[in-house]
Every structure is written in C-alpha cells, then in structure tokens.
Amino acid sequence: MGTIANVEMARAWDGEEGERWAAHAERYEAAAARAWRRVRDLGLVAAGGAVLDVGCGTGASTRDLARDAAPGPVLGVDLSSQMLELARRRSAEEGLANVAFEQADAQVHPFAAESFDVAVSSFGAMFFADPVAAFANLRRALRPGGRLAVLAWRDQRRNQWVTAIQEALAGGRSLPGPPPNAPGPFGLADAGHVREVLAGAGFAEIDLLSVDEPVWLGRDADDAWAFVRTMGIVKGLTADLDPAARELAFERVRAALAVAAGADGVLFASSAWLITAHRPPG
C-alpha cells in the first residue's frame, strides 16, 4: 500500500475490523443489499465505461459494477488487505476479467488524472479523515462531466439497526453518540455538511436522495444473533461488563432481534443518503 493519510482508519480496517468483515462477508453484503440496489438502478454505469469503486471492501459492489461496465475496466480500492484478498479470489472465481483491486487510501492515492467515467462508493466514503481533500482527489480522477454516486448512512437515530442494538446493550447506561461529521459510519450524515464538502472539492449538481430500505440481519432471531454477536458494536459496548451483566446484555439483544423477526427475516429500519454529483466539464 502506498501513502496513507487516514492512519487511524487504516489501522482499524487493515486490522481487526477488516478481518471481521472478511470473515462474515456474505452477511455484511446481504445486510445493506437493498440500498445498494438503488445505486445500480440509477444506471450511471454504461457498457465500456471506466469505474472506480471507493471503499470496495470484499468486492460485491465492484463485481456488480464490472458486470454493468463490461468490457470497461473497474478498479476497487480499499484500506483492508484481508477484504481485498477475498475480493480478488471471488472475482477470479466468477471469471471477471475487467476488474482489479488495489490496497490504497483513496484520500491521497495518485489515481491517473481524468481516467474514470464514474466513481462509486457503497458505505465506504464516510471514513475520510479529510473529506474535502479526499473528494477533490476523486474529482481529479474523474473525466470532465464524470459522475459520483455515494451511499452513506443518515443520522444514527434514523437507523434502527444501530439504535435497537445499542439500546439493548446499554441497559440503561448513558452512551455518547458519534461526534458530528467525524470519520465513521455517520461521517456524511448531515446534508449541509455533505454539500459543503462536495462543493469545496469542486463538484457540481450535488443532490441527496433519502434511501429508506431495511437492513437484513438474518433468517430468524437465532441466525441474526449468530451474526450480530460478531459486530464491533457488541464487543465494544460489552467489553467492560462483568460476565453476568454481559449475558444480560446479550439476552436483551436477542429479544430485540426476536421482535424484529418476520416472514422475510430479521429486518430493521435504516436510512441512508444516495449522494450524486458530477465533475463540471472543462
């Protein structure tokens, strides 16, 4: 991997966090699949176009984009070597010849100037340490008139898949919310902040569309718990509890999952921004 500006996130994603996501790739990919479908429905990717997938993770989005763009080239970049290893293997297994992956910090990576028609990110762009610099770097990589499409979570209170689990784990404890506009899952939650960032990075025709698609966590409560118990939020909010208190917290989460279980599995409400913009021509 080349130059790293986002040191803290690189340490997490190229470490324990990335290892966990790679180990449970299918579950994470399925969780937000409904929201990702909304990006593909935009029809931004034309056959023969060149596409950049930012924060591509285990490559599910990159493989979809490669199918849409074929025979055009698609490049997926991510901080996590573990997730990229899986992405490369799965792409090879599917015989996708027009896709490549690179471990890189998209905030500072020297992409070839004006080399992509479209830049896409599915829940990967919220983690930039300096979002203006990062999106300016992506703008330079786009051809004049090139398009940007980003999925990013809206504020935490609109995302039941987080709040329900957090409240169950808290058990009456007062837990701080994420700092506004800080790198993390909700780093692009504020619409005004997003517009300022993208305008500051040189993008035009900035638009934010609310995407309210449920997050799927499992076939039933037991299946969902087998996945949820591996999440960082569960480990982080129970690490300082004694064994008895930890087990009670786990029981509360299992109860919340059971309440959300239905014929289509365990579904929680979520809300994301589908952010679109373009690099001005000329």
* Coil/strand/helix, residue 277: strand
pLDDT at 1 over 70: no
Mean pLDDT across the chain: 94
pLDDT tens, position by position, 11-37:
877 888 889 999 999 999 999 999 999
What tokens appear for 131 in the block? 């979002």
Would you place residue 6 in the very low, low, confident or very high pLDDT band (cuts 50, 70, 90)? Answer: low
- The CATH H-level (homologous superfamily) assignment of domain 7-155+178-215+270-278 is Vaccinia Virus protein VP39 (3.40.50.150)
Q: Is the model more confident about 179 or about 125?
A: 125
Q: How far is the C-alpha of 56 from the C-alpha of 124, rounded, in Å?
A: 7
Phi-psi region of 34 (alpha: psi -120 to 50; beta: other; left: phi over 0): alpha
Q: How far is the C-alpha of 223 from the C-alpha of 33, rounded, in Å?
A: 18
CB 276 within 8 A of CB 148: yes
pLDDT tens, position by position, 149-179:
999 999 999 999 999 999 999 887 777 778 8
What tokens appear for 99 in the block? 């896709």
Strands across the sheet containing 215-218 = 215-218, 265-268, 261-262
pLDDT tens, position by position, 225-281:
999 999 988 988 888 889 999 999 999 999 999 999 999 999 999 999 999 999 999
Phi-psi region of 65 (alpha: psi -120 to 50; beta: other; left: phi over 0): alpha
Q: How far is the C-alpha of 21 from the C-alpha of 17, rounded, in Å?
A: 6
Strands 142-153 and 116-122: parallel
Domain boundaries, the chain: 7-155+178-215+270-278
In this prediction, residues 197-210 reach a mean pLDDT of 98
